[in-house]
Each structure stands twice: as C-alpha cells, then as structure tokens.
Amino acid sequence: MLTVESALALFSMLAISSISLFVAQRIHVPHTVFLVGVGVVMAILTHIPELSFFGEFTLTPELLFFIFLPTLIFESAYNINIKQLSRDAVAISVLAIVSLLVSATLIGIGLNYAFAFLGFDIPLILCLVFGAIISATDPVAVLALFKEYGAPRRLSLIFEGESIFNDGTAVALFLILLTIATSGAFDGGDIIEGIVSFVGMVIGGILFGLLFGGFFAKLIGYTRSNEFAAITLTMVLAHTTFICAELFSEVVTIGGHPLHISSIIATATASLLMGNYGRYKLPVHAIEFVEKYWSQFAFLANSLIFIMIGMLAIQLPAAAPSLFIPILIAILVVAAARALSIYPIVGVLNMFSHHEKRIPRAWQHVLAWGSLRGALAVTMVLLVPDTLSFPGWDFAFTPKEFLLTLTVSCVFVTLFVKATTIGSLMGRLRLNTFTAIEEVNYREMLIYIYDATLRKLDQSHEKQYITDETYNTLKSTQDSRIKRVFSELKEYSTDPEILEKVVRLYAIGIERKHAILLFGANEVNERVIRRIMGKLEYQSQAIEHDRYRGEKYEHGSIQDIFEFFAERLRRMSFSRYTNTDRIVDEYLYYRALAIVSRKVVKQLRQLNDCFEETFKMPHETIREVVAVYEDYRIGSTKKMEEFHAEHHTMLRKVDVTLAQNALYAHETDILENLCAREMVTPKVSIALDEHLSTENKEAY
C-alpha cells in the first residue's frame, strides 16, 4: 500500500537518480552501476531515524513483474528495426534459446558437483533453478555503453535481440523448473512435460503478442487524428499484453492442464509489431514523441530498479557471509557457462552461415563478457516462494535466501566488474573505431558544419552583431579548422567507392526525411510510405554490402514479416485491394519519388557548393550522385505523368486532395509559428485550429 513515507521515498529515488546521471558521467562510471552503489548507501542510511523512509518503497515481485518489466521490454523491442533484425534472426534465435539452455544446464550441473565437493548438499533442481535465473541477461547498462563507445550497429542489434528473447526463454524455463522444485518430484515424465510446456510458452507467447499487437495497431490507426489517444494506447498495449498473457496462463486449460504462454515473449512480439508495422499508424508528429516518452519511462523504471537492487544487498540473510566460497564458485561457474554457451555455438553457427552473417571472434568476446545480469534475475528470484523446502535441508538459511544471496552477488559482480570494463575490452578489440565509410563521413560533415558556421559568422559581421576584431579572430580559427580537416579528408578519401557509399547513404537519409514529411502532410498513404521505406532499407543494405544493381537497386524493396502477414490477412478478408487503389498508389509512389529526388539534388548541390567555394574544387562523387538522382527525378516524373494521362479522370480528384493537404499542412505550420511567437491568444489559437480543420474536411 502506498503511504506518505513510501511516496516520499519514491520521488526521492527519482530525484537522486537524475542527479546521479551527471555524477556518473563526470567520474566515467556506467549510470546503472553508479545507481546500485547509491542504493547500497541509501540502505545504510535507512538506519538513521530521519532517513528511515527510504526503506518504505521496496522491490516486490508484483511491482517488478507487472509495472517495470513490461516497460523495459516494450521500450527495447519498440525501437528495433525488424528488417535489420531478420538478417540475424537465426543467430539471435540460437543465442536466445540454445545458448540459454546450455548455460542454465551447465550452471546447474556444474554447481551441483562443485557444492557437493565442498560438502554442501544442494539439490540438483535448485541449482538448475538458479541456472535459469542467472542466465537471463540484462542489456540496459551494456547497450548504453555500446552507444557511448560507438559499437557496431549490427553487434548492438544482435545483443539486444538476444537479450529480449533470452529473457522470455529464461522465465519460461524458470517457471517450469520452479514447478518441478515445488512439487518435490522429478522423473522422465517431468522432462517431457517440461519440454512441451517450454515450446508451448514460446510459440503461444509469439501468437498472443501478434494478436494483441495487431489489434492495438488497428485501434491506433483509428485514433490517428489525436496523438494523445494514440500515445496512451501504446502504454496500454505494453502492460495489457503482459497482464492478459499472465491471466490467460492462469485461466485457460487443456485436458485439465493450464495452457501457459510467455508474457515476456508476448510483450516483446507486440512491441516489435507496433514499432515496425504500427509505427506508421501513429500521427507523424507523435512518432518521435512516442520514442522519447518510452525512453523516459524506461529511464525511470531502470533507475528505481537498480537503486533498489543496491538496497537489496543490505537485506541479505545474516548467514550470507558464510556463503563466501559458494558465491565465489557460482560467479566463476556462471562466467564459464556463458563463455561455453557462446564460443562453441557461434562457431558452429558460423560454419553454416554466409560470410556476411558470420559473427566475428571479437564480437564473440563482447557477447561473452558483456552478459550483465540485472532486473529480470532479481524479479525471478523474488518470485520463488518463501515456503520452498527440500527434505534434509538443514542449513541456517532457506532455499530462497540461498538463491537470493547467489543471485544478488552475481548481479553485483557483473555490474561492478563487467560493466565497468566493457569499454576497455571494446577498445582493445578496436570495436569503437570508425569504419572507412565513417572516417570519410565524419570529416565531410565536419567540413559542412564548419562552412555553415562560417557563413553564419559572415552574416553576423555584416549586420554588425560582432566587432571586426572578433570576426577576424573567429574566422581565422574556422578557416584553419576547415583546412586541417580537409587535409585529413584527402588521406581517407583515396578510394572512390568509399566516397560514393558515403554520399549515397547521405542521399538516402535525405530521402527518408522528406518521405516522412510527405506522409505527415497526407501526401502519401500508409501503403506507399511502407513501400518507400522498404526501398530505402533495401538500398542501404545494398550499399553496405556492395550489391548495387541499377534498376533493381532503384525500385527494389524489403517487406518485413509483419507487412507480409498483414498483406496475406488482407487478401483473405473482405478488404479488397481494387484496381483503383493500385493506380492511386502507383501515382502517389512516383510523385513522392519525384519530390524527394528533387530535395536530394538540391541538398547535394549545396554540399558540392561548399567544396567548390571553400576549396575551389568540385566534389566529383557528389556530382555523379546528383546526376543519378536527376535521372531518378526525371524517370519518376515521367511515370507520374504517364499515369496521370492514362487515368486523368480518376487522378484529378487525387491531385486536388493532395494540393489541399499541402495547403492545410502549411496553414497549420503558420498557426504553430504564430502561437510560438505569442501573436495569438490561446482562445484564438483553438478557434483558428478548429476553423482550419473544418474547412479542410469540408473541402473533400
């Protein structure tokens, strides 16, 4: 129950976590690690009467399982690009399922033998339960470090994908083993039943997540005109999927046996669907806000979790010091099991994989060492019943206290040792260095920034905002910076293929930005924006893997798994894709390509002008890519005009609608600008917004 003291503790923790963010950055310690240390200090401070309220807000299985966990899962999965994830789907699946099962088994059997050697008669099933608990990886701290040190994007994606589905696998295995442990019986039938239950939980979780994710994506599509409703529904989706999956497991039975499904896998699947297929059902101006909203929500949840993990260390049983040797052995066995679940399995995987999909040895080192434990491990150990017991158990601590002590100790070691050294490991493996493309991109964009700054400086001087002396000093500094970077650029830009890749990727970024703007202005529909984004994803992958192939490259596209199934379901339903729909979509598609190609040409020419004016020399690669996009623009315009001539009557109304949408988008931009400058009162602003909206609807 929430009391005044627990509410004060909650908001005190949030305030401390925000302040500690700056302290952690200053002393170069991962924020999550620093928060655990803060939690330890806060737990000690609870012994002071005036600060005892810190202990009123504590971790409970319900708080972790139904509030924090869905938040963390949804936020992680929502931002994963399913098209990129699909490229490594086999590797991620093997790591999340096979590697976890291997790790849990090795930990369980290894500890059982090691403890027996030391004279600790710990049942095998309890060791296996611990193996399932501690094999669940927590990506939060290491992914933050990946971002800070610039780890390869594919490595981050593999690690995050493994962690999300690894969590679902770990919980499924944990619940099965815990059921066996509490029943007190263990035979061959239990193994078969456990395997069937495990497979059912994974498959059931995926299907349940697809059902909920699809339903909410459709629902959010109907609320597209109101971003507040759409954003709220994403929050409802995350927690409702998780809670309903748990209720489903408790209520639904087959032949008297409960039909368990994984709530974590269900939530992750629903989130992946929402973050990819459902993303373009959100209002465009809400897409970025949803990402920031969930990042903030996840930050709050993580902050509270890691502070309370630190506080949990002080609450370990009094007999914990006597377990020093078992704790040390557990730490070593867990580390060895992780290594054995990575190197041999990935080695076999690489033998049967195309060279593009192989996981390099350096990445394997990071996967093995960067396997931190955190929120989920603590959640699972808290779910162990206090009444769990075994015949002949005569230790001074209960089985749950034993598991809690080992788990918290391993969590602490992975955070304080692995998390703080992962950056050094990446540096030694040279994973934080720029690729050849990034070296060129870094310097070209630096020159572009310096040049734009110099132009701004010239304008300020012309308007007499700065003195001649200040202007000359700053201009001299900027000129020397540009010359220095340009000399560096000449060293890295000797390979014309690298230069072309850099410029083409830059052009694709421009296309992506302006395609989204067209979607926001209702100048392309949902089907067309998906097609354009699929084309751009295809082009990006073709460039990165040297698979450029002319016309195929120009109009090839990638359809993700959610779009594939949505298309099949639509064909089976009463919702038909008519010939009129096809004609309109083709017209909108080529019209959009003509517009974005024009934007690319304009911005690339500006970049080329920067080189010509500053260094008195053209950028030949930019000129070549400009020529390519001019051809794209001409070709797309020709296709658009052909469609318009052939279907003039049908497309005339479409043209009017597009023009009206563009005008309305411009009107709303003007209104927002007027409001920002306080040129209208709130009452007038509301009236103007309603008036413009009504006029736009009546225009149709």
118-134 pLDDT, tens digit each: 888 889 999 999 999 99
Burial 84-111 (b: 16+ CB within 10 A, else e): bbebbeebbebbbbebbbbbbbbbbbbb
- The DSSP string of 323-369 is GHHHHHHHHHHHHHHHHHHHHHHHHHHHHTS-GGG---HHHHHHHHH
Taking the C-alpha atoms of residue 77 and residue 166, their distance in angstroms, rounded to an integer, is 13
Neighbours of 457 (CB within 10 A): 18
Q: What is the pLDDT of residue 550?
A: 47
Q: What is the pLDDT of residue 637?
A: 93
Taking the C-alpha atoms of residue 191 and residue 197, their distance in angstroms, rounded to an integer, is 10
Q: What is the pLDDT of residue 237?
A: 93
Taking the C-alpha atoms of residue 237 and residue 267, their distance in angstroms, rounded to an integer, is 8
Render pLDDT for 36-90 as a digit per residue (tens, 0 to 9).
Answer: 999 999 988 888 888 888 888 887 888 888 888 899 889 888 988 888 888 888 9
- In the three-class reduction of DSSP (H, G, I as helix; E, B as strand; rest coil), residue 215 is classed as helix
Render pLDDT for 237-269 as a digit per residue (tens, 0 to 9).
Answer: 999 999 999 898 888 777 667 788 889 999 999
Nearest CA-CA partner of 508 in 457, 548, 468: 548
Task: For tokens 């909206």, name the residue.
Answer: 693
Render pLDDT for 418-450 as a digit per residue (tens, 0 to 9).
Answer: 888 888 888 898 888 888 888 888 888 888 888
Render pLDDT for 595-624 as a digit per residue (tens, 0 to 9).
Answer: 999 999 999 988 888 777 666 555 678 888
Whole-angstrom Cα Rg for the chain: 29
Taking the C-alpha atoms of residue 380 and residue 306, their distance in angstroms, rounded to an integer, is 15
Task: For tokens 């060895």, name the residue.
Answer: 336
Render pLDDT for 461-473 as a digit per residue (tens, 0 to 9).
Answer: 898 888 989 999 9
**Average pLDDT over the chain, rounded to an integer:** 85
Say how many CA atoms lie within 13 Å of 613 toward its Cβ: 13
HEC sequence for 61-93: HHHHHHHHHHHHHHHHHHCCCHHHHHHCHHHHH
Q: Is pLDDT of 213 > 50?
A: yes
Q: In the structure encoding, which two tokens stand for residue 104, read together?
A: 């849990």
Q: In the structure encoding, which two tokens stand for residue 205, read together?
A: 């979780």
Q: Average pLDDT, stretch 540-553?
A: 64
Q: What is the pLDDT of residue 187?
A: 61
CB contact set of 557 (below 8 Å; sequence gap of 6+) = 531, 534, 535, 537, 538
Q: What is the pLDDT of residue 547?
A: 65
Rounded to 10 deg, the angle between the 361-369 and 419-428 helix axes is 170
> Could you tell me the pTM of the whole model?
0.86
Q: In the structure encoding, which two tokens stand for residue 103, read together?
A: 């790790």
> How do the domains of the chain map onto residue ranges?
62-280+323-408, 436-494, 498-646, 654-700
Q: Is pLDDT of 145 > 80?
A: no
Partners of 254 in the β-ladder: 257
Task: For tokens 């040049």, name the residue.
Answer: 451
DSSP 605: H
Question: Rounded to whole angstroms, what are the CA distances from 44 to 40, 242, 306, 434?
Answer: 6, 35, 16, 44
Nearest CA-CA partner of 377 in 406, 340, 416, 339: 406
Q: Is pLDDT of 95 > 60?
A: yes
Question: Rounded to whole angstroms, what are the CA distances from 266 to 201, 202, 208, 376?
Answer: 9, 8, 6, 16
| Residue 635 pLDDT class (50, 70, 90 cuts) | very high
Render pLDDT for 311-363 as a digit per residue (tens, 0 to 9).
Answer: 887 777 766 777 889 999 999 999 999 999 999 999 999 998 887 788 999 99
- Are 155 and 84 within 8 A, CB to CB? no
Q: Average pLDDT, stretch 664-678?
A: 87
Partners of 383 in the β-ladder: none
Q: What is the pLDDT of residue 189?
A: 60
Q: Is pLDDT of 527 > 80?
A: yes
CB contact set of 659 (below 8 Å; sequence gap of 6+) = none
Q: Is pLDDT of 685 > 80?
A: yes
| Residue 553 pLDDT class (50, 70, 90 cuts) | very low
Nearest CA-CA partner of 132 in 161, 95, 169: 169
Say how many CA atoms lie within 13 Å of 172 toward its Cβ: 32
Q: What is the pLDDT of residue 551?
A: 46
Q: Is pLDDT of 288 > 90?
A: no
Taking the C-alpha atoms of residue 368 and residue 334, their distance in angstroms, rounded to an integer, is 11
| Residue 575 pLDDT class (50, 70, 90 cuts) | low
Q: Which carries the bigger pLDDT value, residue 674 or residue 187?
A: 674
Exposed, middle or buried by CB within 10 Å (0-12, 13-18, 19+), for 236? Answer: exposed
At 334, the amino acid letter reads V
Question: Rounded to whole angstroms, what are the CA distances from 312 to 38, 300, 317?
Answer: 12, 18, 10
